[in-house]
Amino acid sequence: MSKYAFILGQASRLAATELLNVLNQPKNYLWQDNLLITETELAPESLLKQLGGTIKIAKIIASYQNLADFKTT
């Protein structure tokens, strides 16, 4: 399963409700303001066509607990 960040539109509460219903109420998700992060096996391209309140979908490829752990070259 991949982790994705969903950028929600102006009616973020409605968009989040729509998204959670389409994803069959995932148990683990983080939702704050216009951003919802969760895991899914569904293809983001097909999800974006279904979701009226979601503006963009980004795949999360890495995460860090502390900014000091993030190293650039």
Name the residue ranges covered by the structural domains of the chain.
2-63
Do 57 and 48 contact (CB within 8 A), yes or no?
yes
33: alpha, beta or left, given left = phi > 0 and alpha = psi -120 to 50? Answer: left
Measure the CA–CA gap between 42 and 70, rounded to whole angstroms. 29
49-68: per-residue pLDDT in tens? 999 999 999 999 988 788 77
Instruction: State yes or no: pLDDT of 24 exceeds 60.
Output: yes
pLDDT at 43 over 80: yes
pLDDT computed for residue 65 by the predictor: 81
Strand order in the sheet with 35-40: 29-32, 35-40, 2-8, 54-59
CATH topology of domain 2-63: Alpha-Beta Plaits (3.30.70)
- Which helix (H) or strand (E) element contains residue 44? helix 44-50
